[in-house]
Amino acid sequence: MPITGPQTTATSPVPVIVTGQYPAKATVHYPRELRAYDAARWVRGEIQVLPTTKLAATVFGVPAACVSAEVKALEAAEQLNAAGNDHGGNGHSAGLLLAEYILRATPAERQHAADVVGCDVIWDSMISPLLNGNGHHAAE
């Protein structure tokens, strides 16, 4: 029997992937009936919609600017991880989590953290080792 299209099993269907802009912008070649059909397939998990920032913000009820800021923070954390910044390869991700928090924090939140932790602790453990050329300074 010849294979005529993408094959899936009943236990692990592969959803069709569409960008969020296609259903939002397509009108001429995407009639209402087909949009309703695809919406029903989306609800059933048969279509995966890669959302735009605006769609994600609408679905989660937050401003698009907040979604954009979180995307940037996640991408920055991924870049840190890709650069091998795992604190000497010890397998701990605490440093990456801290980096994510710092990237997401507002200036007021960073100031509060400095007040709570102490500027001397931040300087001695995070900044001074980098200035001395010892970026992998172990905690004492």
> What values do phi and psi take at 62, rounded to 5?
-130, 160
Instruction: Please choose, from the candidates 121, 118, 126, the residue with its C-alpha nearest in 3D space to the C-alpha of residue 137.
Output: 126
Buried b (16+ CB within 10 A) or exposed e, 32-65: eeeeeebeeebeeeebebebbeebbbeeeeeeee
Specify the pLDDT at position 1. Answer: 41
CB 38 within 8 A of CB 12: no
Specify the pLDDT at position 115. Answer: 82
Tokens in use for 111?
């100031």
The answer on pLDDT for 140 being more than 50 is: no
Specify the pLDDT at position 43. Answer: 92
Rg (CA), the chain: 23
Specify the pLDDT at position 11. Answer: 52
The whole-angstrom distance between residue 5's C-alpha and the CA centroid of its chain comes to 33
> What values do phi and psi take at 77, rounded to 5?
-65, -40
Per-residue pLDDT tens digits for 27-77: 778 888 888 998 899 899 898 988 899 999 999 999 999 999 888 888 887
Tokens in use for 2?
């010849």
Specify the pLDDT at position 101. Answer: 80
Per-residue pLDDT tens digits for 97-115: 777 788 888 888 888 888 8
For residues 129 and 96, which has the higher predicted lDDT (pLDDT)?
129
The answer on pLDDT for 129 being more than 90 is: no
